[in-house]
Amino acid sequence: MENAGASDLWLFIEPYGEDYWLKSGEVFAVAPEAAGSNVCFSIAVCQEGTVWLYEDGDPTKVVLEYTVTDADGKRLECGHQRPAGSGATKPG
């Protein structure tokens, strides 16, 4: 995912509702934890980018274990760069 816009982009990953915030020009990678998985992505673009990961493109096989990393390969945690007052909260 790359934020090619001028403002922050809210990346919202389902099914857990985890949020990550990309500054303009930033790139994040979303990948399954299991090596060799054939994963397809479903992305809805609105004020936030909502991402679902499906095994073999089958929407009944949601990938539950994934990682989000920055351009340097550093693993990011839910809430990364969340702006104060955004209204987003940690899931759970």
Q: How confident is the model at residue 21 (pLDDT cuts 50, 70, 90)?
A: very high
Report which residue type is found at 83.
Answer: P
Q: Could you tell me if residue 1 is inside a domain?
A: no
The answer to whether position 54 is within a domain reads yes
Q: Is residue 87 part of a domain?
A: no
- Domain membership of residue 44 (yes or no) is yes
Nearest-angstrom CA–CA distance, 89 and 92: 9
CA dist., res. 48 & res. 63, Å (int): 20
- pLDDT tens digits, 32-80: 887 777 777 766 666 666 777 778 777 788 888 888 999 999 999 999 9
Residue 78, in any domain of the structure: no
pTM of the prediction?
0.74
Flag whether 63 is in a domain: yes
Question: Which domain, by its residues, includes 42?
Answer: 9-70
- Residue 89 in domain: no
Q: How many structural domains compose the chain?
A: 1
